Amino acid sequence: MVDKSKTLALGCDQGGYELKEFIKLKLSESGYSVRDFGTYSSASIDYPDIAHPVASAVANGLFPMAVLICGSGNGVCMTANKYPEIRAALCWNTEIARLARLHNDANILCLPGRFITEKEALSAVLVFLQTDFEGGRHKARIEKIPLL
């Protein structure tokens, strides 16, 4: 049986391709089961074509969390956050990734592929995956996020 806490979806556009490949390799070496939603080369692709399937998979419970990467991180983040069940967070360092989980119960980490080092990105991903939501006063706040 697969440990669902160690499974995640991963996707990117061409701006995040090299970083995605690095993260996929490092996570696999660390015992994570990673489903790669693409892109599978550095050829140009529209980020919504990757972000929608990833966000849908998380929203439908197929994966507890995901990582999306594009050049700035903004495009994939905006697309993923169209889903009511998704709380995608644009993070560019470990502390922001930790707080996205701890305080915001984020379920998709969005990384700026052109503005973050491999080392910082991997650290942010690992912290994101290993940090639990704190709950408490933060729970009431995230419950106010969806439109009524």
Of the pLDDT bands very low, low, confident and very high (cuts 50, 70, 90), residue 136 is confident
Of the pLDDT bands very low, low, confident and very high (cuts 50, 70, 90), residue 1 is very low
Percent of the chain topping pLDDT 90 = 88
Strand segments (E) across the chain: 7-12, 33-36, 66-70, 88-90, 108-112
State the pTM of this model.
0.95
Residue with the bigger pLDDT between 145 and 39: it is 39
Whether 98 maps to a domain, the answer reads: yes
Q: CA quadruple 106, 126, 9, 53: dihedral positive or negative?
A: positive
**Active site includes 70?**
yes
Whether 16 maps to a domain, the answer reads: yes
**Active site includes 12?**
no
Q: What is the domain extent for residue 12?
A: 4-143
Whether 68 maps to a domain, the answer reads: yes
Of the pLDDT bands very low, low, confident and very high (cuts 50, 70, 90), residue 146 is confident
Average pLDDT over residues 112-129: 98
Specify which residues 80 forms β-bridges with.
Answer: none
Sheet of strand 33-36, all strands in order from the earlier edge strand to the far edge? 33-36, 7-12, 66-70, 108-112, 88-90
Whether 32 maps to a domain, the answer reads: yes
Whether 121 maps to a domain, the answer reads: yes
Whether 31 maps to a domain, the answer reads: yes
Whether 99 maps to a domain, the answer reads: yes
Q: What's the distance, CA 4 to chain centroid?
A: 15
Looking at every residue in the chain, the average pLDDT score rounds to 95
Q: What is the pLDDT of residue 147?
A: 73
The answer to whether the beta carbons of residues 104 and 55 sit under 8 Å apart is no
Decide: helix, strand or coil at residue 27: helix
Domain CATH code at residue 85: 3.40.1400.10
The answer to whether the beta carbons of residues 110 and 76 sit under 8 Å apart is yes
The catalytically annotated residue of 12, 77, 103, 110 is 103
Neighbours of 122 (CB within 10 A): 19
* Span 43-94, pLDDT tens digits: 999 999 999 999 999 999 999 999 999 999 999 999 999 999 999 999 999 9
Q: What is the pLDDT of residue 75?
A: 98
Whether 148 maps to a domain, the answer reads: no
Q: Count up the domains in the chain and report the number.
A: 1
Query: Quick one: which of 46, 35, 37, 36 has its CA closest to 13?
Result: 46
